[in-house]
Amino acid sequence: MQISVQSDPFDFGALAQEFADGHTHMGAVVTFTGIVRDDDLGGLDVMEIEHYPGMTERAITKFAAYAKDRWDLGDVLVIHRHGALKPGEMIMMVATAARHRVNAFEAAEYLMDYLKSRAPFWKKEYVNGEPRWVNAKPEDEDALSRWD
Amino acid sequence: MITLLYFAWVRERIGLPKETVETTATTVKELVEELRARDERYAVAFSDLASLRVAIDQDLVDFDAPLTGAKEVAFFPPMTGG
């Protein structure tokens, strides 16, 4: 299990390759990468991601351990960045390894849903120089109930 | 002594990221009442509890959670990770 909360960029290709290597019993590896999206026709200057040091690592570790157990994962990786990010930069990545693809996909989706609404990160966008906090969406909260 | 942490717009509205308080409050709700009574900035930040989340010692809890043994209480808006 690899968990990292960091401001530095990460090398998605190298991490995905390293994660996929050496599994002789895991037939499926799923990776997901989240990218800073500009919804404002080039207006997004920067996205600042704030987090709660300590609780963030603790929460992600808890979700990853739960996913590993529930979907019988061979391995799991979560990387999430904080700090100032530009449109097109990678914010986070999740990787799951399971015997079969259904488990790998479901575990990755579970992790994404929980990272979105239960890991203590807050996004602030600067659009054309104006700051605004990104609001949580009701549908993101609703998405959690499918894992009950 | 309890350490209070504020994040995102809660931090901005209150105007500081962290402080320590002496309190006789027994629940998070009572603590919020004390803070609201203190200053307009707190009253504004805590005006709508439905738009806030709270964690005690880095675990999410409800506002009626007891403060027994709490060292660190954090207030913040709904999270927007991913």
pLDDT at A54 over 90: yes
> Which residues in chain B have Cβ-Cβ distances shorter than 8 Å to A138?
none
CATH code of the region A2-21+29-135: 3.90.1170.40
Which of B5, B76, B82 minimises the CB distance to A112? Answer: B82
- Domains annotated for chain B, with CATH where assigned, are 2-76 (3.10.20.30)
The tokens describing B80, both together, are 């927007």
- Closest residue in A to B80 (Cα) is A122
- Domain spans of chain A, in order of start: 2-21+29-135
Q: Best mutation site among B3, B5, B76, B79 for testing chain A: the one with the most A CBs within 10 Å?
A: B79
The Cα B68–Cα A8 span in angstroms is 38
| Amino acid (one-letter) located at A62 | K
CA distance A33 to chain B (A): 9
pLDDT along chain B (82 residues), means of 10: 97 98 96 96 96 97 97 98 94
A132: closest CA among A46, A67, A55, A12?
A46
Q: Show the tokens assigned to A11.
A: 């090398």
Query: Six-digit token pair at A130?
Result: 């104006």
Task: Please state the length of chain A.
Answer: 148
What H or E segment, with its residue span, contains residue B61?
Answer: strand B59-61
B66 touching chain A per CB within 8 A: no
Contact A52 B74 (CB under 8 A): yes
| Per-residue b or e along A80-89, where b marks 16 or more CB atoms closer than 10 Å to that residue's CB | bbbeebebee
Indicate yes or no: CB of A50 within 8 angstroms of CB of B79: no
Residues of A in contact with B13 (CB under 8 A): none
Give yes or no for B52 touching A (CB within 8 A).
no
pLDDT range class, residue A23, cuts 50, 70, 90:
confident
Task: Give yes or no for residue A17 having a pLDDT over 90.
Answer: yes
DSSP one-letter string for chain A: -EEEEESS---HHHHHHHHHTT-SS--EEEEEEEE----STT-EEEEEEEE-TTHHHHHHHHHHHHHHHHTT-SEEEEEEE-EEE-TT-EEEEEEEEESSHHHHHHHHHHHHHHHHHHS-EEEEEEETTEEEEPPPPHHHHHHHGGG-
Contact A119 B9 (CB under 8 A): no
Question: How many Å apart are CA B41 and CA A9, to the nearest integer?
Answer: 36
Distance of alpha carbon A28 from alpha carbon B28, whole angstroms: 45
Closest Cα of chain B to A140: distance in Å?
A: 9
pLDDT digits (tens, 9 = 90+) for A92-133: 999 999 999 999 999 999 999 999 999 999 999 999 999 999
pLDDT of residue A41: 84
Closest-CA residue of A relative to B52 is A136
- CB contact under 8 Å between B79 and A119, yes or no, is yes
